[in-house]
Amino acid sequence: METQSPQLTLLRIDGMSCAGCVRSVETALDSVPGVTLATVNFAGQTAAVTGTDNITDLIDAVQAVGYEASLFRDESVDHQELEAGLVLRRAMVKSALALIAALILMADMWLGLLPPLAEQSIWLTIGVATLVLMVYCGGQFYKGAWNALRHYSTTMDTLIALGTGTAWLYSMLVLLVPGLIPVQSHHQFFEAALFIIGFVGLGKALELNARTRSSLAIRKLFDMTPAYATLIGEAGDSLVPLEEIAAGQSVRIKPGENIPVDGKVLDGITTTNESMLTGESELVVKTYGSLVYAGTLNVEGSVVVEVNEVGESTRLAGISRLVSAAQNSKPAVAVLVDQITAVFVPIVLGLAVLTAALWLWLGPEPQLSYAIVTAMSVLIVACPCALGLAVPMSIMIGLGQAAKKGLLISNSNVLQMASKLDVMVLDKTGTLTMGKPDIVDSSGLTEQHLMQVHGLEIFSSHPLAQAIVQYCQGRNIAASDVSSFKNHVGGGVTGEADGRRLILGSPGFLKSQGIRNVPEIDAIGTIVSLGMDDQFIGYLLLQDKVRPETKAILQSLIKRGIQPIMLTGDREQVAKQVAAQVGIDEYHAEVSPDEKLIIIESLQSVGRCVGMVGDGINDAAALAQANVGFAMGLGTDIARESADVTLQGDSLNGIESTIKVSVKVLRNMHQNLFAAFAYNIVLIPVAAGLLYPSFNLLIDPALAGLAMALSSVTVVLNAGRLRSI
């Protein structure tokens, strides 16, 4: 399964500390020649780049703006987990250190253990120690701010660095040149600076933890392929590393083992659990000729499997790549958030300066002290760290959960769109119906004709064709040699055999191919007619079964206010019957693939948000045009590639779950954005001192740091709730 555009490069980016960094990295990557799209996922610390595969250029560009980049390697989950654990521990230790130091300082002050500021030598020692701790525990903020400054930009690090830097510098000025500063303003802010570093660092550490956990969770889900396989060689069985296994070889798979490769059962019988691919936990029976997939679990039997695909080309690997690319994609709302962040920091800097100026001018004594405290609080409280997390956290967890349910969502905009759908266009054959029809009549066709029909249909991937081929095989009807085969999407197939021109397909298609005497056939079911040269020969009558879940799904769509419309290339008669059977009021029969597309476009042009479900080549254009395209899991490759969501279990149930997941993720995302913004919007004026005149209320810079950490924690916890959907 092709799941990735050929030129998608995944990079791992290190050193990004906030949403502002995301923009710098994206701009840098965008400016590399050839790049068509670069999206950075802050939560996953990765970048997805399309348009070029010149890794060195990309890495250079990222380094030039002050971050580290490397090709995203699929390291083992264990290794990543270990590394993430170490990073987290280090971050926690650093924050704890800063907080403890701040607490000691504060406690000493309360207990009156510290001498007055005039005791220069003691205070200078404390000042220097504070600086050392600030740099050691909060180095990331200063580095980030410096990087941004070098490129004339600002990030959230700028706010933290400026806030704590001002606190320290001011305190040192008070100590070193007390004469410069009015006596009433002789205060030190060492502990405030340390508290800020400690709290903000703590928030970051928690954030980091949640981030790695959610990106690893999904990787873990897919990291089910064992590292070794039992190769059946001439000298008997031997356990060899998976890298040494190649397509065409045979491997033995024992009960309880995870299947290491994609392949075909040659011998034995077993049942497998494919829930990691399909979301369905019901066991699947595998016998001779059945396909098995890497990562699924072999439950009870022992089988010999011929290897088709191994490693990166297995279905599992494809799905895993698709999911990480989707987690990297940005929904429209994230772009908006980025734009807001870009202007937010400079605005806050302006506000901090304004606040300081107003306090100096209008404030009570000691003005300078108040000015410094309020400006510092504004800088710290405004830092929209949680903002950068709000959207990606929800998306990563939401898409991961969706994948567990067997929904492959290929881009995150689906989440935004799926909850707005008000029409669902459904294809008939293979979508509403099973696409595995029985042949109930073969009127007018001799064995010779059936051989020709067989010969034609082995070239086609249409569900009807597959049914016909199976029918012929079941009756030991050989396939004639067919030349100049041509597929006419949505109509039928043509070719030449035994020196005659063969036309096979719907009655309408036969007419369009110049067959003269096509009769009106009054029978229930889909008709596939055979024409030879310009003569009608006979037809096959096929009856398909409606999927068992169809009716219930359509009912619940209608309940959600989504109108179902059926489109089919099949005859009016069959369309009408199926529509009545499943409870659809509006249907269009005998529509060509182009017409499917046009119907969707016209629905969109009157402002409707259109979903489309299909399985065939004839649905691909419509799937791509729809606001959200759903492809059946066992549908054709091209349908899956054109769609936004692949329903892995090959059941319509996934449509409902996609909508449900989307609604929940979207709501979660909005809550997150609200939480992230609410703290800032509410606290900035308070920090600036707006409530001081009437309530005597100010925010201590240390408290501001705590509030900020809290906003990150709120977002992380809230997004975590999605794990239970």
Q: Under the rule (CB under 5 A), what is the footprint of Mg ion?
A: 427, 429-430, 615-616
Provide the 3-class DSSP secondary structure of residue 303: strand
Where residue 164 falls (left for φ over 0; alpha for ψ -120 to 50; beta otherwise) is alpha
If you count DSSP H runs as helices and E runs as strands, how many of each does the chain have, helices first?
A: 23, 26
Q: Point out the catalytic residue in the list 157, 262, 338, 427.
A: 427
Q: Does 454 bind ligand ADP (CB under 6 A)?
A: no
Shortest Cβ contact with ligand ADP: which residue?
A: 569
Cβ 612 to Mg ion shortest distance, Å:
11
Instruction: Using CB under 6 A, pick the residue from 94, 213, 462, 664 that binds ligand ADP.
Output: 462
Asked whether the beta carbons of 627 and 416 are under 8 A apart, the reply is: no
Cβ 537 to ligand ADP shortest distance, Å:
14
Instruction: Using CB under 6 A, pick the residue from 464, 482, 541, 684 that binds ligand ADP.
Output: 464
Smaller CB distance to Mg ion: residue 427 or 496? 427
Q: Does 528 bind ligand ADP (CB under 6 A)?
A: yes
Provide the 3-class DSSP secondary structure of residue 627: coil
427 has catalytic annotation: yes
Using CB under 6 A as the binding rule, the residues of this chain from 60 to 119 that contact ligand ADP are none
Q: Does 570 bind ligand ADP (CB under 6 A)?
A: yes
Q: Does 506 bind ligand ADP (CB under 6 A)?
A: yes
Q: Does 207 bind ligand ADP (CB under 6 A)?
A: no
Which strand (E) or helix (H) includes residue 506?
none
Using CB under 6 A as the binding rule, the residues of this chain from 601 to 660 that contact ligand ADP are 616, 618
Smaller CB distance to Mg ion: residue 416 or 636? 636
Smaller CB distance to Mg ion: residue 30 or 595? 595
Using a 10 angstrom Cβ sphere, with 0-12 exposed, 13-18 middle and 19 or more buried, the burial of residue 523 is: middle
Q: Does 547 bind ligand ADP (CB under 6 A)?
A: no
Smaller CB distance to ligand ADP: residue 198 or 633? 633
Of residues 360, 335, 510, the one with CA closest to residue 416: 335
Smaller CB distance to ligand ADP: residue 10 or 620? 620
Binding partner of residue 641 among ligand ADP, Mg ion, none, CB cut-off 5 to 8 Å per kind: none
Binding partner of residue 505 among ligand ADP, Mg ion, none, CB cut-off 5 to 8 Å per kind: ligand ADP
Instruction: Using CB under 6 A, pick the residue from 191, 309, 427, 544 that binds ligand ADP.
Output: 427
Cα–Cα distance for residue pair 672/678, rounded to 1 Å? 10
Instruction: Using CB under 6 A, pick the residue from 495, 505, 525, 629 that binds ligand ADP.
Output: 505
Q: Does 490 bind ligand ADP (CB under 6 A)?
A: yes
Smaller CB distance to ligand ADP: residue 469 or 675? 469
Q: Does 153 bind ligand ADP (CB under 6 A)?
A: no
Instruction: Using CB under 6 A, pick the residue from 392, 491, 629, 633 that binds ligand ADP.
Output: 491
Q: Does 568 bind ligand ADP (CB under 6 A)?
A: yes
Q: Does 566 bind ligand ADP (CB under 6 A)?
A: no
Cα dihedral sign, 19-724-76-633: negative
- The window from 70-78, 166-174, 263-271, 484-492 that contacts ligand ADP (CB under 6 A) reads 484-492
Distance of CA 623 to the CA centre of its chain: 19
User: Residue type at 213?
Assistant: R
Cα–Cα distance for residue pair 73/68, rounded to 1 Å? 14
Binding partner of residue 528 among ligand ADP, Mg ion, none, CB cut-off 5 to 8 Å per kind: ligand ADP
DSSP conformation letters of 209-245: HHHHHHHHHHHHHH----SEEEEEETTEEEEEEGGG-
Cα–Cα distance for residue pair 198/706, rounded to 1 Å? 9
Cα–Cα distance for residue pair 381/69, rounded to 1 Å? 30
Cβ 523 to ligand ADP shortest distance, Å:
13
Cβ 289 to Mg ion shortest distance, Å:
25
Cis peptide bond N-terminal to 366, omega within 30: yes
Hunting for tokens 């597959």 — which residue is that? 466
Angle 317-321-325 from CA coordinates, rounded to 5°: 170
Q: Does 502 bind ligand ADP (CB under 6 A)?
A: no
Cα–Cα distance for residue pair 225/317, rounded to 1 Å? 9
Binding partner of residue 506 among Mg ion, ligand ADP, none, CB cut-off 5 to 8 Å per kind: ligand ADP
Smaller CB distance to ligand ADP: residue 493 or 557? 493
Q: Does 460 bind ligand ADP (CB under 6 A)?
A: yes
Provide the 3-class DSSP secondary structure of residue 91: helix
Give me the long-range contacts of 481-490 (CB less than 8 A, separation at least 24): 481/455, 482/452, 482/455, 482/456, 485/456, 485/459, 487/459, 487/460, 487/617, 489/593, 489/617, 489/618, 490/569, 490/591, 490/592, 490/593, 490/618
Q: How many CB atoms lie within 10 A of CB 586?
A: 12
Smaller CB distance to Mg ion: residue 407 or 617? 617
Cβ 676 to ligand ADP shortest distance, Å:
46
Beta bridge partners of 252: 230, 304
Residues that bind ligand ADP (CB under 6 A): 427-430, 457, 460, 462, 464-465, 490-493, 504-506, 526, 528, 568-570, 616, 618
List, by residue number, the catalytic residues. 427
